[in-house]
Structure 1
Amino acid sequence: MAAVQSMPGLPSKPLPKYEQVAETSASLDWADLVTLDLSNFEAPGERERLAAQLKDAVHNVGFFYITGFGLSQEEVDNQFAIGKEFFALPTEEKVKYRADLEHGNYNGYRPKGSSEVLPGKRDNVEMFNVFKFIPELERGQPDVINDNRAEIERFQRHIAEDTVQKLLILIAIILELPEDHLTKGHQYDDVSDCHLRYMIYRHRSAQENAEYQNLYSKGHTDFGSLTLLFRQPVAALQIRMPDGSWKWVKPYPGSITVNIADVLQFWTAGYLKSSIHRVVAPPPDQAHIDRLGLLYFLRPAHDLKLKALDSPLLQRLGLTSENDAANEIKAGDWVRARVKGNQDKVSEGGNKNKPVLGGIEAKYYD
């Protein structure tokens, strides 16, 4: 990939101020999720208290909220403004930065319609993924990214070096492992597929939503370790609860929604739940809005294996690798294989298992 030619500087023009839309007034069946306040993380005994609060959520549901993560709403909204500017570019400009999706690489632009939601019906989502600014992952970027590179990198580094490190420490405590056991494989300078994502779901007409069974994306799990979704008020995200029901995820002000992803499920032989979630058409009072999202995907260093961790908790529970084939699969290969698989066509009807790598399948839900 081509290296960026210029060093970051001041923006060439001020970004328009981003204004969050109003929340829906619809009465929805919201999921009851745990909220962790990370603002006092360093206080004596706080890590153990937060880990105890988190334990049931990561085992049974796989979704939770965090607050007190050290970024202001103004800083978050500035990233939304960058995403909005990018998606306003002409299509012919955006496709210059298309990611190499066919080879499992999400670094760059993913155009709308890159995958099927239902047979013969393509998705309505665009993504622009900004990987970490390290030499091994550099590539050419559009002006809106180059002009705001310093701010994007600062934002990324705070998430990567502060927020997710705290969450990994809490998970290590739950697993009765040394606090740095998981953080060592998730460093900013590691070659991995960690990235900040600007994402937009283009709204559909009522007729189109009916044709798509109100699905924007089918139920799925995420590929890496953790996913962080910054609050945006258009209600559309749903999670599959342990009883099989779907509940809405409420966008609480000042929060990030976090979910467990595949790698942590592999490493804990299924004890941590890689949560199944989907995106559906918003309620009627928001159905006309393009749903702009801001996310951070935490992925482990490419060369780490998916073998279950040597955790005292897992040993007491008698848990070993869910699938022996996972023992020798590298995390980077798993992520790339799942990205490639997302370009495949879908088959008719029902929940589907899709082969991914080494005999292991991913399951998709309507």
Structure 2
Amino acid sequence: MAAVETLRTPAPLPKYEQISVTNQDLDWADLVTLDLSDFDNPGGKERLAKQLFEAVQNVGFFYVIGFGLSQDEVDHQFAIGKEFFNLPTEEKLKFRADLEHGGYNGYKPLGLREIKPGHFDNTEIYNIPKFIPAFERTHPDIIKQHYPEIEDFSKKIYEKVVRRLLVLFAIVLELPEEYFLETHEYDQLSDCHLRYMKYHKKTPEQNAQIDNVWVKGHTDFGSLTLLFRQPIASLQVRTPDGKGWKWVKPYPESITVNLADVLQFITNGFLKSSIHRVVAPPPDQADVDRHGVLYFVRPRSDLKLNPVQSKVMERLGYDKAVDEKAVGLTAGEWVKARVQNNVNKYPDPEKDKGETTILGGVKAKYYD
């Protein structure tokens, strides 16, 4: 792999300061917390798998703590992302992702998605793919200056968090521990990536025009999404009964994890792709921009979305595909098609009941 050119003396970064948590009494979701520091202890994997089983039967969201990355390491990534978004727009656009053709590595500018007629999204994104030869690309100076730390951080996420969670999912399904590892190895061609994200603040009047919803309820595309804790309350998860939304609390020194489409497809819905949305923060946090550091876990691109053979699924009645049209599609095809669709208008909830066809007749749904 040809090394990305790095600048010898990294520019000093302002220290990233996390703001105070909200003092509002919000309706928080009751989520399971997995302490991954227990993973290598005697019986630790089994204890964690039992907790995880409970989590996936509920809303498909859970927290992990004890994952072996310090808060300073995490905050340093927030600082890098913040400095990137401070660049002039014309500089960021030099690294624009080819979103219209299903590519998403690089920069996604503001306002590509219409969230309500005449109103567009308030998010900027910069995606950095896995550090393997297939994804060699150019980056802006702020990324090149800190490339070694970014690479180290990304690989630590995979080794300390992703691999352990994949083992736990295999145990939950009573499969060999390496089952999901074999389809998610780091050196395989897949769409895993680290993401820096910025939600631009809106005025109360702007929020009222979009019913306070910044990103409609949706599912993610791959296997797992990891959201590093930041204290602005804005993320909500749809309740299991589908009748409402609960806030996801920013748990100290945690990662919020949610399941995504691929795991739902290949487990016939036993592992549920969680429905979540982003809304305007409470009043005491409304005057700041919301930054994010995320990691998206996706299997190798050629993995066919065929159901796994699991005794647990058989016992619990998950013996039918979530959508027969998805069987035989590959993970790469599904992700690419969803990315392409994601730069278009959201479906109109009145005209098409919030559904949009993605690929091969398989639909995705968006929720208000």
Quick check: TM above 0.5? yes
Deviation at 1:4, TM superposition (A): 7.3
Aligned letter for 1:317? Answer: L
Distance 1:6 1:358, change over 3 A: closer
Aligned length: 364
2:326 is matched with which residue? Answer: 326
Q: Is the 8 A contact 2:346 2:366 kept in 1?
A: no
Q: Any gaps of 5 or more consecutive residues in structure 2?
A: none
Which of 102, 116, 127 in structure 2 is aligned with 1:118?
116
2:216 is matched with which residue? Answer: 218
1:24 is matched with which residue? Answer: 22
Alignment partners' CA distance in 2, 1:140 and 1:93: 13
Say which is worse superposed, 176-185 or 320-329, in terms of deviation: 320-329
Query: Could you list the per-position Cα deviations for residues 50-77 of structure 1 after superposition, in whole angstroms to 9, with x for gaps in the alignment?
Result: 1011102112210000000000000000
Deviation at 1:134, TM superposition (A): 1.2
Say which is worse superposed, 322-331 or 31-40, in terms of deviation: 322-331
Aligned letter for 2:298? Answer: R
Query: Could you list the per-position Cα deviations for residues 311-359 of structure 1 after superposition, in whole angstroms to 9, with x for gaps in the alignment?
Result: 1111223423222222210001100100111111234335411111111
Superposed CA RMSD in Å reads 1.3
1:98 is matched with which residue? Answer: 96
Alignment partners' CA distance in 2, 1:106 and 1:59: 31
Alignment partners' CA distance in 1, 2:321 and 2:241: 24
- Percent identical across equivalent pairs? 60
Give the SS at the match of 1:61.
Answer: coil
Q: Is the 8 A contact 2:2 2:133 kept in 1?
A: no
Alignment partners' CA distance in 1, 2:141 and 2:63: 33
Q: Is the 8 A contact 1:105 1:336 kept in 2?
A: yes
Give the SS at the match of 1:328.
Answer: coil
Aligned letter for 1:235? Answer: A
Query: Where do 4+ consecutive residues of structure 1 move more than 2 Å?
Result: 3-12, 315-318, 346-351
Q: Is the 8 A contact 2:231 2:250 kept in 1?
A: yes
Q: Is the 8 A contact 1:117 1:346 kept in 2?
A: yes
Distance 1:349 1:321, change over 3 A: closer
Query: Could you list the per-position Cα deviations for residues 274-308 of structure 1 after superposition, in whole angstroms to 9, with x for gaps in the alignment?
Result: 00000000001111110001100001100001111
Alignment partners' CA distance in 2, 1:348 and 1:298: 29
1:289 is matched with which residue? Answer: 288
Alignment partners' CA distance in 1, 2:293 and 2:136: 21
Per the normalisation by structure 1, the TM-score is: 0.97
1:194 is matched with which residue? Answer: 192
1:60 and 2:58 equivalent?
Answer: yes
Per the normalisation by structure 2, the TM-score is: 0.96
1:147 is matched with which residue? Answer: 145
2:254 is matched with which residue? Answer: 255
Give the SS at the match of 2:107.
Answer: strand
Alignment partners' CA distance in 2, 1:36 and 1:226: 15
Deviation at 1:219, TM superposition (A): 0.2
Map residues 1-366 of structure 1 onto 2, 5 A cutoff: 6-8=4-6, 10-244=8-242, 245-318=244-317, 319-350=319-350, 351-366=353-368
Alignment partners' CA distance in 1, 2:95 and 2:349: 34
